[in-house]
């Protein structure tokens, strides 16, 4: 499926969806809510929040929650990603595990925005976040 060409306005809408998702964050340990919203190539938007656990290593980040929601609903190609970290005072980028997972489902030119608020967003791409990506032929 072809990627959707995403306008700045659409990225801002996606960021607002990520902000909304962060309100559902289950983060009693870090008290650091995160929300993510993913526009898939079929035009749907899937959201996710971080979900922590008293066994700390079992925490699932917002980005992977959103991505796994998308795959569970049959959407496996992504067009844009937004990540909201409303309690940070600077834009917090996705962790290494999430970068690996997002690149499973999106090309390098997929736009990604992240930040604490709409006035303080970093706009980048999957390729910038995850250079030297490889081994996609294993899925063929």
Residues making up the binding site for Zn(2+): 61, 95, 98
Strands 78-84 vs 122-125: parallel, antiparallel or unpaired: unpaired
Asked whether position 62 contacts ligand THU by CB under 6 A, the answer is yes
Q: Is 63 a catalytic residue?
A: yes
CA distance 50 to 64: 8
Give me the residue label for tokens 């809510």.
33
Determine if 66 is a binding residue for ligand THU (CB under 6 A). Answer: no
Sheet arrangement for strand 122-125 = 45-49, 35-40, 78-84, 111-115, 122-125
Instruction: Give the nearest distance from C-beta 127 to ligand THU in angstroms.
Output: 18
Does position 75 interact with ligand THU (CB under 6 A)? The reply is: no
Closest CA to 114 of 94, 87, 89: 94
Question: Catalytic residue among 63, 73, 128, 137, which?
Answer: 63
- The binder of ligand THU chosen from 37, 39, 45, 61 (CB under 6 A): 61
- Which parts of this chain interact with ligand THU (CB under 6 A)? 27, 30, 32, 34, 50, 52, 59, 61-63, 83, 92, 94-95, 98
């Amino acid at each position: 499926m072809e990627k959707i060409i995403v306008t700045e306005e659409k990225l801002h809408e996606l960021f607002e969806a990520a902000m909304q998702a962060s309100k559902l964050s289950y983060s009693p340990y870090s008290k650091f809510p995160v929300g993510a919203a993913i526009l898939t190539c079929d035009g749907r938007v899937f959201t996710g929040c971080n979900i922590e656990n008293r066994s700390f290593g079992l925490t699932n980040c917002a980005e992977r929650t959103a991505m796994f929601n998308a795959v569970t609903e049959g959407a496996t190609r992504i067009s844009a990603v937004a990540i909201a970290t409303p309690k940070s005072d600077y834009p917090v980028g996705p962790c290494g595990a999430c970068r690996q997972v997002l690149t499973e489902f999106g090309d390098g030119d997929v736009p990604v925005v992240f930040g604490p608020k709409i006035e303080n967003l970093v706009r980048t791409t999957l390729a910038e976040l995850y250079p030297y990506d490889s081994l996609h032929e294993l899925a063929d």
